[in-house]
Amino acid sequence: MKPTQALERQHACDRQGSRAPIGRPLKASPHKSAALLLAWACLQFGAGPGLAGEIEVLHWWTSGGEARAAQALKASMQAKGHSWKDFAVAGSGGDSAITVLKSRVVSGNAPAAAQIKGPSLQAWANEGVLASINDVAKAERWDELLPKVVSEQMKYRGDYIAVPVNVHRVNWLWVNPVVFARTGAKVPSNWDEFFAAAETLKKAGVIALAHGGQSWQDLTLFETVALGVGGPEFYQQALVQRDLEALSGPTMEKVLSTYKRIKPYTDKNAPGRDWNLATAMVIRGEAGMQLMGDWAKGEFLAAGSLPGKGFICAPAPSTSKAFIFVIDSFAMFKLKTAANTAAQKDLASAVMSPEFQEVFNLNKGSIPVRMGMKMDKFDDCAKASAQEFTAAAKSASLLPSVANGMAVTSPIEWALKDAVSQFWNSDKMSSAEAIKRIVAAAKSR
Ligand code: BGC
């Protein structure tokens, strides 16, 4: 580390440390301001001299809850003396970010790390642009700290090329309990009850379901319906294995008709709306429910809404015994300088640390991916998620999200998003026509 950088780090930590509240444990609050986070990070990560570099991280965590979580990462890197270059690209569940990343990599100007997940990790590694972080992983025994299904996805030809951050559950229903109490709607546990609650809310003049009409959200809703209506085995066969019979059989027809039955309970301004703006409608009581992954919880928390009071989390209808997962991870790119490579390894190490796993996931709405973490600071939604994750893994009900990059390659995912979205948005398309398009998308390369 250059002496000036070491001094800067010292000063940043001194300044922040002196602002830290005395006598109150920093880890007590999950909702930290930027200054508190840096003070926290100085305590956790401030020690240890090293080579200071620049760390540029591409991500799409720009909503209220996501930004707080990303701040934890920035603070931990700054506490280690590295300079942080934020490369945040807002929007569309990461679709825009990946487009920008491709052009940066093609022009030989890759960031240190990028939010890439699922099968795309292998596709990027195949291009020869990712770096091994095996030395960090070996020294810190990641193989023992991660579920095998996760560690395998983070490796390419036996080498770790990515670090996992969290586990999100997709199949959640978010409810505004004040609106429900006022209108007499009951929190649904199956699809019949869902439509009964939606009808009650609609009659009371409330938007029943807050939806963002973007293709990744249309597909996120679709996979949740597919799981609820068809069950885990159907989900696995139709959406993950893309089995022709399952994709075109009577269960698929039922899934499509249930999916389309939801549409009248959304509002006319849904097209194009970002997911977090849909969550805000539930927070404000303009809408009664949202079906969305638990990154939505980060929005409730960031807005000061408390679990059980401002919002209720319930498994999406008919999916209480299954778990659609998303595991966010950072892929590491080959870099040109030793200082930046050292910073990249520090990033990998920080992400896997118990301290980071806790503070990040408290803010993000997800649960730690590192095994053996204490959950006492987490709320009941996260505790339920952690229990279900373990239970679902044992009963073959742990399923990768198709809409959020975990199950299929990205060309297939894009094709599925298009097909499902066209069906959602059309007044005329029959189920038979939708099936034809979904099958074609599922079989695309
Ligand atoms: C990601 C989450 C993110 C959400 C909304 C998901 O695909 O896994 O980390 O918060 O999209 O952008």
Question: What's the confidence (pLDDT) of residue 40?
Answer: 80
Q: 253 is in which domain, residue-wise?
A: 172-325+391-443
Instruction: Verify that 185 and 320 share a domain, yes or no.
Output: yes
With a cut of 60, say whether residue 47 has pLDDT above it: no
What's the rounded Cα separation, in Å, for the pair 441 and 445? 9
The alpha carbon of 55 and the centre of ligand 1 are apart by a number of angstroms equal to 21
Is residue 140 domain-shared with residue 216, that is, in the same domain? no
Nearest CA among 394, 364, 375, 396 for reference residue 169:
364
Answer yes or no: is 7 within a domain: yes
SS3 letters for 62-88? CCHHHHHHHHHHHHHHHHCCCEEEEEE
263 within a domain of the structure (yes/no) = yes
Q: Given a cut of 80, is residue 250 above it in pLDDT?
A: yes
pTM score: 0.92
pLDDT on residue 35: 77
What CATH number does the domain containing 220 carry? Answer: 3.40.190.10
Together in a domain, 303 and 370: no
Q: Is 168 in the pocket of ligand 1 (CB under 6 A)?
A: yes
Which residue in the block uniquely carries the two structure tokens 């599922």? Answer: 442
- Summarize pLDDT for 129-149 with one digit per residue, the tens: 999 999 999 999 999 999 999
Considering the domain architecture, whether residues 96 and 184 belong to the same structural domain is answered as no
Q: Are residues 20 and 132 in the same domain?
A: yes
Tell whether 386 is covered by a domain.
Answer: no
Q: Tens digit of pLDDT for each residue in 260-292?
A: 999 999 999 999 999 999 999 999 999 999 999
- Say if residue 347 is in the same domain as residue 240: no
Query: Same domain, yes or no, for 282 and 410?
Result: yes
Q: Within a domain: residue 437?
A: yes
Number of domains the chain is built from? 2
Please check whether residue 428 lies inside any domain of the structure: yes
The rounded distance, in Å, linking the Cα atoms of 21 and 67 is 23
Query: pLDDT tens across 104-135, in order?
Result: 999 999 999 999 999 999 999 999 999 999 99
CA separation for the pair 238, 232 (Å, rounded): 10
265: CA distance to ligand 1 center in Å?
24
Within 10 A of 89 (CB to CB), how many other CB atoms are there?
18
Going by alpha carbons, the residue nearest to atom 5 of ligand 1 is 93
Identify whether residues 306 and 199 lie together within a single domain: yes
Residues 55 and 128 in one domain: yes
**Pick from 300, 292, 297: nearest CA to 273:** 292
Residue 22 CA, ligand 1 centroid: distance in Å: 35
Q: Domain end: 363, 381, 399, which one?
A: 381
